[in-house]
Structure 1
Amino acid sequence: MHAEVVVEGPKNDSADRAFALATPEAGVVVAAVSTEPVGGCGHGMGWFLRRLGVHLLARLTDRPERGIADCLADTIAETAALHGARCDLGHEATPAASVVACRLLARELQYLVLGPGVVHLHHDRGPSSRMTGPDGPLAAARARPGIAAYAGVGSARLYSLSGASLAADGTDRPPAGITLTFGTPAPTTR
C-alpha cells in the first residue's frame, strides 16, 4: 500500500483543524467538527486531534483481533484519560472530531467513518463506491467511547481494489485526506 497524506488549510491554522497520518498498514484522518472555540479543555483542538489520530493508528496496527470500531472506542477512552482532572469533558464545547480510518488486515481493507467524512473505494473493474458516516451533533469523537458504535464500518477485498481515498471535513475548510494505491507486488528474483 502506498499512501499520500494531505492536510490543506492556512499554514498557521491547519494543525488545529485537521490531522492525517498513515503507515503501510493503516491510515487515519481526523478533523474538527466545529469552528467554534473549544471549551472545557485547556489542551486545545490541535492537541486533541493529534492524540486521537496517533492513538487510533497505533490501535489499528497493534490490535488486529479487535474490530475497527472497537479500536476507535479504545482510542477515545485513552484520549479522554489523558485530559486529566483539569478538563471538563462534559462541557458542550469540548473538542469533537470526525474520524475516517482504514487498515489492511489479511487480504481486505477495513474502513470506518464517524461524522462528516467519506471513504471512496476505487475498484479495478466497475465504478468507485463510497461510504459516508452518520452525521449530526452526536456523531463525532468526543470523550464518549460508546459513540464508536455509531460509526459506519465496512470492508472490501484487496484483489478488487486499485485504491482508496479517505477524507474528513467537519468544517467549511478544505479537507484533510489520504489517498491509497494498491498494486500487485513485483515478482522477486533469486
Structure 2
Amino acid sequence: MREHPVRKKTINTFKEAKKTWGSYDDFPLAAAGVDPAPHLSRNRVAQPFHLVTAMDELLVTMAGTGHVEFRTPSGTKTLEFEPGDVIYLPARMPSRVLPATEAIHVRLKTTAPFQEAAAFFCTSCDSLLHSVEFVVDVPQRAYWDAVVAFNSTVDQRTCSTCGVVADPVDLSDIAWDDVADVLTA
C-alpha cells in the first residue's frame, strides 16, 4: 500500500508532498474539524477542468511556477504564481491551475460538503462544453467521475457553438479514485 499524507497538528509541507500520488490529490492535512482546512497537492499537469466552488478558497504556492486561469464574464484572465504567492479563488468563478513546473500547492478550503462543479470549456471559442455539479463529502470521487464521463461521451466534448470536439482528458497523473478510497475508508 502506498503511503499518503496524513492529518497532523504540525505539517512539514515538503515532506508530505513527497507522499502525494498524483496531481490535484487535495489530501486534507489538518485534524478533522479545522475550517478552513489545508489540502495538499503536488501538481505536474494542467488541472483537467475548471473548478467552480460555492465557497471562496485560497491557493498557496509552496514550490513551482505557472498560472491560474479564471473564466470571467469578460473573458479569460490569468494570474501567474511562484513560491510564496497566495491566490484568492472567488466563489462561483471557474478557475484552473496550469503549472509550468512541478508545483506544490496548499488549498485552503471550507470543510466539505459544499457545492462544487467541474466545468469543461472549448479550447477554440471558450464556450462551456459541459459541467457537473455535486455536493459530496469526498470530492475527489466526483472529480474522477466527471472526467471519466466527459472522456467517454463525444457529445459532452463537442462544442455546440463552434463544433470543435475536445480531446479526452489525460488522467495518467491523476489519482482521485485512489485518493477517494483512502479518504472514505
TM-score, length of structure 2 as denominator length: 0.27
Q: Relative contact order, CA 8 A, sep 6+: which one is greater? A: 1
**Higher percent of residues as helix:** 1
